[in-house]
A and B are shown apart, each in its own frame.
Chain A
Amino acid sequence: MHLLPKFDYYEPRDIGEACKLLSQLKGSARIIAGGTDLLVNMKKGLLAPRSLVGIGKIPGISEIEPVNGGISIGAHLIIQKLVEFDLIRKKLSVLSRAASVLGSPLVRNRATIGGNIVNARPAADLPPPLIAMGARVRLKSRRQEREVPLDRFFRGPGETVIKPGEILTHIVIDALPPFTGGDYIKLMHRRSLEIAIVAVASRITLDGPDGVIRDGRIILSSVAPKAIRAVRAEKALIGERPSEGLFEHAGQIAATECTPIDDIRGGAGYRCSMVGVLTKRTLSGALREAKGQ
Chain B
Amino acid sequence: MKKLITLIVNKRAFEVAVEPNRTLAQVLREDLGFLGTKVGCGIGDCGACTVVVDGRPVNSCLVLAVQVNGSEITTIEGVSEGAELHPVQEAFVEYGAIQCGFCTSGMILSAKTLLDRNSNPSEPEIRAALSGNLCRCTGYQKIVEAVHAAAGMMKK
Judge whether A149 is part of the interface by a CB distance below 8 angstroms.
Answer: no
Cβ contact within 8 Å between B132 and A192: yes
A contact residues around B58 at 8 Å (CB): 106, 109-110
> Is B42 within 8 A of A105, CB to CB?
no
- B-contacting 9-mer, from A37-45, A62-70, A244-252: A37-45
Known: A8-B1, A80-B56. A52 touches B20 (CB 8 A): yes
In the bound complex, residues from chain A placing their C-beta under 8 Å from that of B45 are: 193
* Known pairs A4-B21, A4-B23, A8-B1; A106 contacts B42 (CB<8 A): no
Q: Is the CB of A106 within 8 A of B132?
A: yes
Q: Which of A4, A104, A107 has the most CB of B within 10 A?
A: A104
Tell me whether A9 is interfacial, beta carbon within 8 Å.
yes
Residue from B19, B20, B57 in contact with A105 in the complex, judged by beta carbons closer than 8 Å: B57
Instruction: List A contacts of B1 (CB < 8 A).
Output: 8
SS of A interface (majority): loop
| Interchain CA distance A268-B67 in the complex, whole Å | 41
Kindly state the interface size class of chain A when it binds its partner: 20 to 34
Point out the residue from A6, A80, A107 that lies within 8 Å of B59, measured CB to CB: A107
The 0/1 profile, CB within 8 Å of B marked 1, for residues 10-44 of chain A is: 01000000000000000000001011100110011
**Residues of A contacting B23 with CB < 8 Å?**
4, 39
Asked whether, in the complex, the Cβ of A43 is within 8 Å of the Cβ of B43, the reply is yes
Bound-state Cα–Cα, A192 to B1, Å = 38
A54 at interface by CB-CB < 8 Å? yes
Number of interface residues of B (CB under 8 A): 31
A192 and B43 alpha carbons, distance in the complex (Å): 15
B56/A36 in contact, CB under 8 A? no
Contact with B along A48-65 (1 / 0, CB 8 A): 000010101000000000
Contacting pair B129 A105 (CB below 8 A): yes
- Please name all residues of chain B whose beta carbon is closer than 8 Å to the beta carbon of A11 when the two chains form the complex: 66
Contact A35 B128 (CB under 8 A): no
Q: Are B43's CB and A5's CB within 8 A?
A: no
Known A4-B21, A105-B128; 6 more pairs at CB < 8 Å:
A4-B22, A9-B3, A11-B66, A35-B63, A36-B62, A39-B23
- Among A5, A52, A104, contact of B132 (Cβ-Cβ < 8 Å): A104
Q: Are the C-beta atoms of A36 and B44 separated by less than 8 Å?
A: yes
Interchain CA distance A40-B39 in the complex, whole Å: 14
Which among B53, B66, B131 is the interface contact of A9 at CB below 8 angstroms? Answer: B66
**Smallest CB-CB separation from A190: which chain B residue?**
B131
